[in-house]
Amino acid sequence: MVSALGMTAVLGGCGSTGSSDVTLRLVAADYGDSPANSSKKYWDDLAAEYESHHSGVKVEVSVYSWNDVDRKVKEMVDAGHAPDLAQIGAYADYAAAGKLYQVSDLLSIRTQADLLSQLSDAGEWKHTQYGIPFAASTRVLFYNKTLFAGAGITPPTTWDQLAADARALKDKGVKYPYALPLGPEEAQAETMQWLLSGGSGYTDDVGTYTLDSAQNMETFAWLKDELVGKDLTGPVAPGKLNRADAFAAFADGQVGMLTGHPTLIQQAGRKGVKFGTVPMPGRTGKARASMGVADWMMGFRQNGHAEQIGDFLDFVYSEKNVLTFSRTYGLLPVTGSASTAMSTSGKSSDKVLRPFLDQLPTSELYPVGKTSWASVSAAVKQNIGQAVAPGGSPSGVLTRLQSTATAADSGTAG
């Protein structure tokens, strides 16, 4: 999914430890796609409003691109200059290293209770919450209405129907009947959605990696044989097709269907593509779950300031501010109050997010509470495309990824 508010922190001295004249340094990721809608403006406005009511607290905000923000925070922490707050892609490594405040040490009970429970649960490391969900999205199946009408087909509800639709689209000359981006940019997302669609996932109910489960092997064998092997995924090998390129091709009217998150709505809309969305099909019906993605806010312990951090976050997570951020960037709210407001709103921009919002309560997130997930995700990005390549072995690739995951898990706490 999309991730990142990027704010940086000025390296150097901390604010005083007293209750006044405290400077909070926030590093966040940038969700904008141009300087005009950079997250820097959102955070600067929010900080200015907060400071106007809290004369003893200053909030310094730095925003980095998603390509840089996680690395920037790591460099700051490694140099002994942790920010007070970071809004980035993962929290577990910092929690395992003892560098973060527990969420209960920061947020008011009211704010904690308003966070959506499945997202709060995903913010736990060793059964204690350290990661605060900040923004969320889910995946649905997008389809090009014009291409579907031309082929005389309807959106699929099963894998067999998806394959039949893809064949009908190919017969009409559609370039990418089903776009399958398993390239290194975001292959872990497409992979997870298909694993869920096949009834399994990256882990079992107790958090043990299950990449080599029989269901997962059957899922990738089906993809290899029924879609890729029958030339229904387009001219670019799935292992070389990145998500951004697949989205761009959809917006150019070259893709019949693909899984997408909310940002594709605006991207396709700008190009005038008529599209619809449906839940991702499962093997014989609806998928076990949709894939959910959350980005994370966390408070670092190094400089103290727990009271000021918590008070500022209570403000950040107010219904008004959560809604403003979600609407600005086409993302899903992480609180119950804002979710209710969005789902009952008459705004057209809110209505288009409802298919994604409907999926969120039952969505399944990456195993972000495992400190091994970063290395497992990297291995999936680099290798999963080989599972569907000509001559590739789905079972062999998944078995090797399982070995990587098991080794990474045993070598880390979490």
CA 275 to chain centre: 22
The percent of residues above 70 in pLDDT, for the chain, comes to: 94
Q: Measuring CA to CA, which residue among 198, 347, 187, 345 is closest to residue 280?
A: 198
Residue 260, phi then psi, degrees to nearest 5: -150, 165
Q: Residue 67: pLDDT band by 50, 70, 90 thresholds?
A: confident
Per-residue pLDDT tens for 346-395? 898 899 899 899 888 889 999 988 989 988 998 999 999 999 999 999 99
The percent of residues above 90 in pLDDT, for the chain, comes to: 76
Residue 15 has pLDDT above 80, yes or no: no
Residue-range domains of the chain with CATH: 22-137+293-365 (3.40.190.10), 140-289+370-410 (3.40.190.10)
Per-residue pLDDT tens for 21-50? 899 999 999 988 778 888 999 999 999 999
Mean pLDDT of 156-177: 98
Residue type at 269 in one-letter notation: G
Q: Residue 315: pLDDT band by 50, 70, 90 thresholds?
A: very high
What is the pLDDT, as a whole number, of residue 4? 35
Q: Measuring CA to CA, which residue among 182, 52, 137 is closest to residue 339?
A: 137
Hunting for tokens 């776009």 — which residue is that? 179
Enter the pTM of the model.
Answer: 0.83
What is the pLDDT, as a whole number, of residue 332? 93
Per-residue pLDDT tens for 81-127? 999 999 998 899 999 999 999 999 999 999 999 999 889 999 999 99
The kind and range of the H/E element at 42 are helix 39-53
